[in-house]
Structure 1
Amino acid sequence: MARNLALFDLDNTLLLGDSDYSWGEFLVREGLVDAQDYFEKNRAFHEDYKAGQLDMNAFFAFSLQPLIDHGVTTLQALRPKFMETVVKPMIAPGAAALLDAHAADFRVIITATSSFITQPIAEHFGVDLLIATDPEIVDGCATGRIAGTPCYQAGKITKLQDWLASSAQAFEQSWFYSDSINDLPLLEWSDHPHAVHPDDRLRAIAEARNWPILSLETA
């Protein structure tokens, strides 16, 4: 019998915060990027994202600069510290129960955030697959460009459908959980859309369409 497909956004859904934004702040604290310049640009891009107006190519050129400056190996070595000190305290108290509710399903974290940042997070959650925005790596070095389709807005559907086309998996129904209006295309694509800690625009749509609205702020 075919399994169901359970899709989860990451930032502000399974996490009570944004891992991409927090990674930038973490690099500032580690002394790897200039504090004032990075904070200002990171905050501006974050506001663009919340408004649904993020230029993903421009953002990745900015956010991947530390990978170019310091090298993939150096920043990989910092990911365990980032996980312990930043990510784990951000995990929503109800995230584990939600994931457990879909234990029999094929579970996917699908996020606009770079796979460089989110790979260890997905491993921690124990999901079956991570679909994220992939940084282009050539000869072990980051180029500052995106490899393939950005996993953002309708690009999430493109990335998911590309994987489905290449996979031998067959699924009966799909669930998707997200907080963001940016994920409206994938929410509409899924059979069972759920809004989690939704922003104001997504909340209005969820209420109008009678989609379930969840909070994972308590276990």
Structure 2
Amino acid sequence: MKNLTIFDLDHTLLPIDSDYEWGEFLVRVGAVDEAAFRQRNDEFFAQYQAGVLDPVEYLEFALGTLASFPRERLDALRAQYMREVIEPAILPQAVKLVRDHIDAGDLVAIITATNHYITAPIARAFGVEHHIAAMPEVDAQGRLTGKLAGTPTSGAGKIHHMHAWLERMGRPFESFERSHFYSDSHNDLPLLSVVSHPIATNPSSALASHAQAQGWPTIRLFND
């Protein structure tokens, strides 16, 4: 594999934010208190859009919600969420983009700031084997504790986790002839600035302006 290709997930491959929509799904099915949960979920989402989100604070809110359910119930909710929310949002043009890189022989991964429990089945649905996301802490019995294990996979943290993953693969970043990163968000500027081929994908206005100034290519897989 000569080339490395990395995809962000939310608003890049998906026209939605899988983390935010998970919260909305829990409200809709009555699994959480609507007023209290939606207020906190909306506050965190606004902070993310403004680029001022504390990733640990948010992740421990999200992971604490996961940990509040018995595992059997949580798994059933996730399966329903995949059917009702995620599968309709997986669009052919996004699947084709991923498949084109896989078929070209690239080493392909999804790196997302959203937690691993929610995004693991989404990565599988795209046919992507390598998936890097915020890891929930589990106890000795394998139960979610509501805490974050390790460091967030957001901002510059994506660079750290990418290098750690590649080292485990025995393929350091410098060994690739070309490296691509597709993202919609200015929050991903650290990793976009490291790869040889950054691609602004369905970009936010802030990223679109930066990409234009830098001469980076811009693509739109959908209008979201």
TM-score range, shorter chain: over 0.9
Displacement, 1:64? 1.7
| Equivalence map 1:2-41=2 (5 Å) | 2-41=1-40
Displacement, 1:66? 2.4
Q: Which runs of 5+ in 1 are unaligned?
A: none
Please say if 1:157 is aligned against 2:159: yes
Which of 155, 176, 180 is residue 175 of structure 1 equivalent to? 180
| Equivalence map 1:32-111=2 (5 Å) | 32-103=31-102, 104-111=105-112
For 1:116, the equivalent position in structure 2 comes to 117
Per-residue CA distance 1:44-102 (angstroms, 9 max, x = gap)? 10111111111112112211222222133321222221111101122244202211220
Find runs of 4+ consecutive structure 1 residues off by over 6 angstroms: none
How many residues are matched?
217
Q: Which runs of 5+ in 2 are unaligned?
A: none
Percentage of pairs with the same residue: 46
Q: Are the aligned partners of 2:64 and 2:147 in contact in 1 as well (CA < 8 Å)?
A: no
Cα-Cα RMSD: 1.4
Q: Are the aligned partners of 2:113 and 2:133 in contact in 1 as well (CA < 8 Å)?
A: yes
3-state SS of 1:12 partner = coil
CA distance in 1, matches of 2:192, 2:63: 28
Q: Are the aligned partners of 1:178 and 1:196 in contact in 2 as well (CA < 8 Å)?
A: yes
AA partner of residue 159 (structure 1): H
CA distance in 2, matches of 1:71, 1:106: 36
TM-score, structure 2 as length reference: 0.92
AA partner of residue 154 (structure 2): Y
Displacement, 1:180? 0.3
Q: Are the aligned partners of 1:93 and 1:217 in contact in 2 as well (CA < 8 Å)?
A: no
Q: Are the aligned partners of 1:93 and 1:216 in contact in 2 as well (CA < 8 Å)?
A: no
AA partner of residue 200 (structure 1): S
TM-score, structure 1 as length reference: 0.94
